[in-house]
Structure 1
Amino acid sequence: MKRKYTKSTEAVAALTDEQRRVTQENGTERPFINEFHDHKQAGLYVDIVSGEPLFSSRDKFDSGCGWPSFTKPVEPNVVEKKDTSHGMIRTEVRSRYGDSHLGHVFSDGPRELTGLRYCINSAALRFIPAEKLEEEGYGEYAHLFAEGGSR
């Protein structure tokens, strides 16, 4: 049975002040002082609001920017929108079902992979360790972390 991902008032109410500011008010957390910027454990990053799968640790890289950076989403659950705030033109990324502000995507990622850098706020994410995917209802992603799993 396929899980349904939605934004609920209960999920939003359970957010910390920082998670709410980032995901619901288009905020940005401070670089280097966030939960996942140097996180190395194998697993899946999901939207803190809807639980929809967003990024795999296999696609995470150290961009030096102070936020978690990924080369691609694990599913097409990331929506891109033009962002002209703060006197810049950027591409914002939001979760499809939770409509959470995640961060931005830039074209300065590793060229040998996608050339993209999804620069994501840790406050928008919940991490599911690879060994707990089945237990947490994300068993269909376990193959990504098996020996020789595809990137």
Structure 2
Amino acid sequence: MPDNMPRRVTRTEREWRELLTEQEFAVGFGEGTERAFTPGNFESEKRKGIYHCKGCDTPLWSSEHKFDSGTGWPSFWRPIGEGLMGTKTDYKIGVARTECHCATCGMHMGHVFNDGPPPTGMRWCINGIVLDFRPAE
């Protein structure tokens, strides 16, 4: 693992449940999805800053890469750095989708689609409930 990569965070289910609210755990480790346009989910957040994983505090997303997708969830055209997100194929709704999770702690973030803006063409559609936002000073 490169020196600049966060160390892997592992916790038991009990430890995660003590750290997170019931809803945060359901989305983050039950691979759920918060409702679109949930108040406080950062979908309409316009300030500059960095979005961190609620499970391990790893910085994952920058406001510089955020865009208004109109979907009701915060959307980014790329993570803040390489190797911070893991992916796997998800068939929960009967079609293949690419699920993404924090590579440091495994927390489910959302899904990634190939219908985003340039320069990547990707839309990382993220559940705000699993994020902590830190505004730039």
Cα distance in 2 between the residues matched to 1:13 and 1:114: 37
Aligned-residue sequence identity (percent) comes to 42
* CA RMSD in angstroms, aligned pairs only: 1.7
The question of whether the paired residues in 1 share the 8 Å contact of 2:114 and 2:123 is answered with yes
Cα distance in 2 between the residues matched to 1:115 and 1:22: 26
1:128 aligned onto 2:128: no
> Which ranges in structure 1 are unaligned for 5 or more consecutive residues?
132-151
The question of whether the paired residues in 1 share the 8 Å contact of 2:66 and 2:77 is answered with yes
2:33 to 19, 28, 32: 28
2:19 to 3, 14, 26: 14
Shift of 1:88: 1.6
CA offsets 1:24-57 (integer angstroms, 9 cap, x no match): 1000000011421111111111110011111101
Figure out how many residues of one structure are paired with residues of the other and give that number: 130
Cα distance in 1 between the residues matched to 2:9 and 2:59: 12
> Which ranges in structure 2 are unaligned for 5 or more consecutive residues?
none
Q: Which has the higher helix share?
A: 1
Shift of 1:7: 3.7
Query: Normalising by structure 2, what TM-score?
Result: 0.87
CA offsets 1:108-139 (integer angstroms, 9 cap, x no match): 001x32100000000111111112xxxxxxxx
Show structure 1 runs of 4+ deviating over 3 A. Answer: 1-5, 7-12
The question of whether the paired residues in 1 share the 8 Å contact of 2:48 and 2:64 is answered with yes
Cα distance in 1 between the residues matched to 2:58 and 2:72: 24
Cα distance in 2 between the residues matched to 1:41 and 1:130: 8
Which structure 2 residues correspond to residues 63-82 of structure 1 after superposition, within 5 A? 63-75=69-81, 76-82=83-89
CA offsets 1:70-126 (integer angstroms, 9 cap, x no match): 00000221001111112121000000011000000000001x321000000001111
Cα distance in 2 between the residues matched to 1:81 and 1:88: 13
The question of whether the paired residues in 2 share the 8 Å contact of 1:11 and 1:50 is answered with no
